[in-house]
């Protein structure tokens, strides 16, 4: 196991399998058209599995498939099967917008995917349409229902909370989570690359969410646990639990063991990092295992990133990256590096 300059282990790898998405969420992909990664640069499943194997040698035991929308990657179950066969990967998860989930859930589960997180920001079809600019809300709910029906454990529902958009749906979403057997996690709106319309006044803070929920449910207790998971978990008086990911107002950089590999093999040590390591180049020129290990171990040992904490310390906060710069370098986009 290797650790960075703050003692954080290399454990958690988020794998973006495509930069394409079938939604256009205001807070992530507000444009209709994007500069996409060149097709020939996209790593094959075998290349991804080879890199994951090197990462696993260095301590990674948690892998999350993401994107873009991971279910747009053809035959994703094949990659799942390759990764599930790696005995050192103890937790193999996927984050999806759920639109294509109903049709793919059985093959992904059979291939060995341990659990699924579905992003769902609203229970109201009209709001969904306004937020994502697509009319596929019913399909997302069908996807969640398919997971529930099959009894697939570990379902989570992730909701980005935005003032004036869905800030009034916290209670409804918790009740929905209860109904479908999924733990809801509320995410503070973040000023990541891609969120070009971000402003602090749209952020609903963790403190605000808790007081709103306490008004409805009564006293909420924090669940005390040792974990590097991004969500702080809480329990309602009736025993139901939920989480809050407060990256904007109360970042958790000090325990962050996450890094991100883009679909074209660039590795980032922080969601806010502007530079990454090109592992595809090394892989494709035939670099041996030792060289690949060095390319990963050495930047991780030198890692000092605390992106979200640094953002918090800024006097005046504006979107991280302006649209012109995002067009020049799509690697700066959240949808490229995987949320
Ligand atoms: N397409 C998949 C999905 O929708 O879950 C995976 C990729 S998406 C980039 C991963 C997560 O990042 C989603 O839960 C999304 O809501 C979240 N996300 C994107 N932009 C965000 C922002 N500005 N603030 C907070 N979360 C954001």
| pLDDT tens-digit series, residues 215-264 | 999 999 999 998 888 899 999 999 999 999 999 999 989 999 999 999 99
CB contact at 8 A, 259 and 12: yes
pTM of the model: 0.97
The DSSP letter of residue 37 is P
* Pair of tokens at residue 288: 């041996």
In the structure, which protein residues have their CB atom closer than 6 angstroms to any atom of ligand 1?
Answer: 21, 27-28, 66-67, 69, 95-97, 119, 158, 160, 187, 189-190, 192, 195, 334-335, 339
Q: Atom 7, ligand 1: which residue's CA is nearest?
A: 67
Give distance in angstroms: CA of 334 to centre of ligand 1: 8
Q: Atom 1, ligand 1: which residue's CA is nearest?
A: 69
Secondary structure element (H or E) that encloses residue 179, with its range: helix 170-180
- What angle separates helix 137-150 from helix 125-132, to the nearest 10 degrees? 110
Instruction: Please tell me the distance from the alpha carbon of residue 333 to that of residue 325, in angstroms, as a whole number.
Output: 10
* Pair of tokens at residue 176: 């929905």
Flag whether pLDDT at 162 surpasses 80: yes
Give φ, ψ of 235 to 5 degrees.
Answer: -120, 135
Flag whether pLDDT at 299 surpasses 90: yes
Flag whether pLDDT at 311 surpasses 90: no
Give the residue among 274, 207, 272 at the shortest CA–CA distance from 246: 207
Ligand 1 atom having least distance to the Cα of 247: 25
Other CB atoms within 10 A of residue 144 CB = 25
Give distance in angstroms: CA of 28 to centre of ligand 1: 7
Largest Cα–Cα distance of the chain, in whole Å? 60
Give distance in angstroms: CA of 237 to centre of ligand 1: 29
Q: Using pLDDT thresholds of 50, 70 and 90, give the confidence band for residue 57.
A: very high
Give distance in angstroms: CA of 245 to centre of ligand 1: 12
* Pair of tokens at residue 315: 């006097």
Instruction: Give me the chain's average pLDDT, please.
Output: 96
């Amino acid at each position: 196991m290797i650790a960075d300059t703050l003692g954080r282990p290399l454990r958690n790898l988020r794998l973006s399998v495509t930069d394409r998405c079938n939604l256009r969420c205001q807070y992530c992909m507000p444009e209709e058209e994007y500069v996409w990664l060149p097709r020939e640069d996209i790593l094959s499943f075998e290349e991804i599995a080879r890199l994951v194997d090197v990462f696993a040698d260095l301590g990674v035991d948690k892998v999350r498939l993401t994107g873009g929308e991971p279910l747009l990657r053809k035959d994703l179950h094949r990659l799942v099967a390759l990764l599930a066969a790696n005995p050192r990967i103890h937790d193999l998860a996927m984050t999806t917008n759920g639109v294509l989930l109903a049709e793919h859930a059985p093959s992904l589960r059979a291939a060995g995917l341990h659990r699924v997180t579905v992003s769902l920001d609203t229970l109201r079809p009209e709001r969904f349409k306004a937020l994502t600019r697509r009319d596929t809300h019913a399909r997302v709910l069908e996807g969640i229902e398919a997971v529930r029906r099959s009894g697939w454990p570990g379902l989570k529902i992730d909701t980005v909370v935005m003032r004036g958009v869905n800030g009034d749906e916290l209670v409804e979403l918790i009740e929905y989570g209860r109904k479908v057997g999924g733990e809801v996690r509320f995410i503070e709106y973040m000023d990541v690359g891609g969120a070009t319309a971000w402003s602090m006044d749209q952020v609903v803070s963790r403190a605000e969410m808790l007081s709103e929920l306490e008004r409805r449910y009564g006293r909420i207790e924090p669940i005390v646990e040792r974990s590097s998971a991004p969500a702080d978990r809480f329990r309602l008086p009736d025993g139901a639990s939920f989480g809050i990911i407060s990256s904007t107002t109360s970042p958790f950089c000090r325990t962050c063991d996450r890094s991100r590999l883009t679909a074209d093999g660039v590795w980032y040590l922080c969601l806010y990092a502007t530079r990454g390591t090109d592992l595809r180049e090394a892989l494709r020129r035939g670099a041996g295992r030792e060289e690949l290990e060095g390319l990963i171990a050495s930047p991780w040992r030198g890692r000092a990133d605390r992106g979200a904490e640094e953002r918090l310390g800024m006097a005046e906060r504006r979107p991280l990256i302006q649209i012109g710069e995002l067009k020049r370098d799509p690697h700066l986009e959240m949808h490229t590096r995987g949320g």
